[in-house]
Chain A
Amino acid sequence: MNFFLLSMLKAAVVAGALLFTLAYLQWVERKVIAHIQIRMGPSRVGPHGLLQPVADIIKLLTKEDLIPPYVNKFFYMFAPFLAITLALTSIAVIPFGPEIEIFGVRTRMQLADLNIGVLFILGISSVGVYGIALAGWSSNNKYALLGGLRSSAQMISYELPMALAIVAPLLLANTLSLGELVEKQGGAFLGVVPRWHVFQMPFPQVVSLIVFLIAGFAETNRIPFDLPEAENELVAGFHTEYSSMKFASFFMAEYANMITICSMATVLFLGGWQPLWPAALGSSYVPALLFAGAATVMIYHGLHPARPKDRYTLPAAGVVFLLIAGVFLLPPLRPFLIPVFWFASKTGFLLFVFIWVRGTLPRFRYDQLMRFAWGFLFPVAMLNLLATALVVALVSR
């Protein structure tokens, strides 16, 4: 097929899936946080608040778009554009699955397999600072400026441990292409333990993964490192003066960055689309079993309803889940769906960890944040890198 047509098709699918995930990630976050705090969360719009993202989008689109009189107009408009564009770009190099064949066309389940994929993501994320810094500066507001400055200082500081944590698994894999990186993590030790970089001999990258995730919290400005938008000190930080869709752009950029960081962690450390245990031991039946199990639970609760309306909604949802379980068993779709399932479940788990931490930890103070980055995280990442390099050099000899 025509290269351009194929690329555009793939881009459309990936962009659609990404935007859908963005919208519903926010719903998931509100629900999970609510349950951590023993509340219900969104429950009014649609069943279990499932249409809440749609309502939010309509609200944000129709709100008045204020431009305060003393802002630097050009950069005030440019900053959210920059933030969201850069945040959405990184998804282009993330591999969702192996090379597959659909309707006689062989293609990778990845938009672009760059041989500098890792560097590309690092570059995009380091340029991403401009969006927030410019938003803070151009708003001409002291809270926004402080938020922007804090954010740029924080992101520059945490980029170093993050880069060092990324380099260690690269030493094991010996490549910078994300697709190849995942392929090298295939197979298993002793037939059971997967060869992901967290478990990879000769030097398991557990420390790297933890450092990467902590730095990821800081890079995405999330609790416990959300100093740039600390409400009790800075109103709303760098986006104080933004309203309507411009505010939504920053909001979406934060969630898109979260997805990028989690997919990067999946690809670098958790074996991307490789299954949890080898397909020979039946790992490819996991998605079907999971969905079928969920369907059984739903139908059971539908037959013994706690609330009157559960009698209809739960069995209906159960049947849908059973159908999904059936789709995972269809032979023509399996080589395509199973890797995506594994990739999505690992990334989803990491996203859940992000939300979980937000519900659990309080915010750092700014000096603690900086001391933690330079005094603890950076040396730990450096030591881990040196140890990995030494072991790899000794073993490969």
Chain B
Amino acid sequence: MDIFLFILFASIAVFCAVNVVVQTHPITSALSLVGVMGALAVLYLLLGAEFIAAAQIVVYAGAIMVLFVFVIMLLNAGGEAKSAGRSQMVRWLGIPLFTIFIGLLSYIVQRAVPAGPGVSFGQFTGGTPRDVGRLLFTQYLLPFEATSVLVLIAILGAVVLARKEIE
């Protein structure tokens, strides 16, 4: 069951991720990105990271991407035209070079990452909001507070940039 769900949502994530790049219309790309985030949230759930899954949906899919879509609609951006003629080199060498690149990448990752015991579904149980909160306020207090100050500075910066000059 876990494996089935994993394969289903992993393929949805990959399909949507490819779709983000392939689509020519910005709204379609943005919504594909939302699809990627939703599928990722399910994968987090499968791994037992419930809080992260919920945060993924609330923050990324629900807040950030809504603003993206909102801005795209407000600007009424149209679809971009596909470039008409591709060069001969791209046409013939594109797919072989891409395959080689992916192969090299996977080889390097496999060598660099030590082979440990694989991830098994349902083993990790420390992903509830209670556990995450406890860790944030004990072990990771300093990074947490530093990040919050950073976010505050970013908010102030955004307000200063967005404010109209009053003359």
Q: Let me know if B50 and A148 touch, CB within 8 A.
A: no
Q: Let me know if B69 and A133 touch, CB within 8 A.
A: yes
In the complex, whether B61 has a CB less than 8 A from a CB of chain A is: yes
In the complex, whether A123 has a CB less than 8 A from a CB of chain B is: yes
> Nearest chain-A residue to B69 (Cβ)?
A133
**Residues of chain B within 8 A of A136, CB atoms compared:** 73
Min CB gap A23→B, angstroms = 29
Chain B contributes a number of interface residues (CB within 8 A of A) equal to 23
- In-complex Cβ contact of A115 among B50, B57, B69, B70 (8 A): B50
In the complex, whether B8 has a CB less than 8 A from a CB of chain A is: no
**Residues of chain A within 8 A of B63, CB atoms compared:** 126, 156, 159
**Residues of chain A within 8 A of B51, CB atoms compared:** 116, 119
Question: In the complex, what distance in Å separates the CA atom of A149 from the CA atom of B129?
Answer: 33
| Contact A149 to B70, CB < 8 A, known contacts A122-B58, A137-B27 | yes
Question: In the complex, what distance in Å separates the CA atom of A186 from the CA atom of B57?
Answer: 32
Question: In the complex, what distance in Å separates the CA atom of A145 from the CA atom of B66?
Answer: 15
Q: Let me know if A116 and B129 touch, CB within 8 A.
A: yes
Min CB gap B69→A, angstroms = 6
| Contact A130 to B34, CB < 8 A, known contacts A116-B129, A123-B57, A123-B62 | yes
Q: Let me know if A75 and B27 touch, CB within 8 A.
A: yes
Q: Let me know if A156 and B69 touch, CB within 8 A.
A: no
> Nearest chain-B residue to A124 (Cβ)?
B57
In the complex, whether A317 has a CB less than 8 A from a CB of chain B is: no
**Residues of chain B within 8 A of A123, CB atoms compared:** 54, 57-58, 61-62
- The A interface, classified by DSSP as helix, strand, loop or mixed, is helix
> Nearest chain-B residue to A74 (Cβ)?
B28
Q: Let me know if B66 and A115 touch, CB within 8 A.
A: no
Question: In the complex, what distance in Å separates the CA atom of A136 from the CA atom of B74?
Answer: 11
Question: In the complex, what distance in Å separates the CA atom of A153 from the CA atom of B69?
Answer: 11
Question: In the complex, what distance in Å separates the CA atom of A246 from the CA atom of B123?
Answer: 43
In the complex, whether B24 has a CB less than 8 A from a CB of chain A is: no
Q: Let me know if A116 and B62 touch, CB within 8 A.
A: no
Docked complex: B60-108 residues within 8 A CB-CB of A: 61-63, 66-67, 69-70, 73-74, 76
Max count, chain B CB within 10 A of own CB: residue among A114, A123, A124, A133: A123
Docked complex: B26-76 residues within 8 A CB-CB of A: 27, 31, 34, 38, 50-51, 53-55, 57-58, 61-63, 66-67, 69-70, 73-74, 76
**Residues of chain B within 8 A of A119, CB atoms compared:** 51, 54-55, 58, 129
In the complex, whether B128 has a CB less than 8 A from a CB of chain A is: yes
Question: In the complex, what distance in Å separates the CA atom of A149 from the CA atom of B58?
Answer: 20
| Contact A126 to B73, CB < 8 A, known contacts A115-B50, A115-B128 | no
| Contact A156 to B129, CB < 8 A, known contacts A116-B50, A116-B51 | no
- In-complex Cβ contact of A127 among B55, B61, B129 (8 A): B61
Question: In the complex, what distance in Å separates the CA atom of A119 from the CA atom of B69?
Answer: 23
Question: In the complex, what distance in Å separates the CA atom of A215 from the CA atom of B63?
Answer: 17
Q: Let me know if A120 and B66 touch, CB within 8 A.
A: no
| Contact A126 to B50, CB < 8 A, known contacts A75-B27, A156-B63 | no
**Residues of chain B within 8 A of A176, CB atoms compared:** 129
Question: In the complex, what distance in Å separates the CA atom of A248 from the CA atom of B55?
Answer: 31
Question: In the complex, what distance in Å separates the CA atom of A75 from the CA atom of B129?
Answer: 35
Encoded as 1 (CB less than 8 Å from any B CB) or 0, chain A from 117 to 142 comes to 00110111011011001101100000
- In-complex Cβ contact of A152 among B55, B70, B128 (8 A): B70
- In-complex Cβ contact of A133 among B58, B61, B66, B128 (8 A): B66
**Residues of chain A within 8 A of B34, CB atoms compared:** 127, 130
Max count, chain B CB within 10 A of own CB: residue among A114, A116, A145, A159: A116
- In-complex Cβ contact of B73 among A137, A156, A159 (8 A): A137
Min CB gap B92→A, angstroms = 33
Question: In the complex, what distance in Å separates the CA atom of A75 from the CA atom of B31?
Answer: 10
Min CB gap B9→A, angstroms = 16
Min CB gap A311→B, angstroms = 56
Chain B interfacial positions (CB closer than 8 Å to A):
27, 31, 34, 38, 50-51, 53-55, 57-58, 61-63, 66-67, 69-70, 73-74, 76, 128-129
Given contacts A75-B27, A133-B69, A152-B69, 18 further A-B contacts (CB under 8 A): A114-B50, A115-B129, A119-B51, A122-B58, A123-B57, A127-B34, A127-B62, A130-B31, A130-B66, A133-B66, A134-B27, A136-B73, A145-B73, A149-B70, A156-B63, A156-B67, A159-B63, A176-B129
Chain A interfacial positions (CB closer than 8 Å to B):
75, 114-116, 119-120, 122-124, 126-127, 129-130, 133-134, 136-137, 145, 148-149, 152-153, 156, 159, 176
Could you name 26 residue pairs across A and B whose Cβ atoms are closer than 8 Å?
A75-B31, A114-B50, A116-B51, A116-B54, A116-B129, A119-B55, A119-B58, A119-B129, A122-B58, A123-B62, A126-B58, A126-B61, A126-B62, A127-B34, A127-B61, A130-B31, A130-B34, A133-B69, A134-B31, A134-B69, A136-B73, A148-B73, A149-B73, A153-B70, A156-B67, A176-B129
